[in-house]
Amino acid sequence: MISDYQKKIYRNLIKYSVQLMRDIGNTSKVKEIYDEILEVKQIADFRWLEEKMTEYLR
């Protein structure tokens, strides 16, 4: 059994990872995704995803 919270945070990780891969060439879109991630914060491995986004936006 997986709790609803666990499902939600892993779903969010998948959602934002897919968005990132799809829009990796569009810096403005990646910035929008990054801002949204900072608001949501209910993401599995949040720090890892934030680090990857920061690396790309440098």
In whole angstroms, what is the distance from residue 20 CA to residue 14 CA? 10
What is the residue type of 48? Answer: W
In whole angstroms, what is the distance from residue 27 CA to residue 35 CA? 12
Confidence band, pLDDT 50/70/90 cuts, at residue 27: confident
In the prediction, which pLDDT does 58 show?
A: 81
| pTM greater than 0.75 (yes/no) | yes
9-24: average pLDDT? 92
What is the residue type of 15? Answer: K
In whole angstroms, what is the distance from residue 29 CA to residue 36 CA? 11
In whole angstroms, what is the distance from residue 1 CA to residue 16 CA? 24
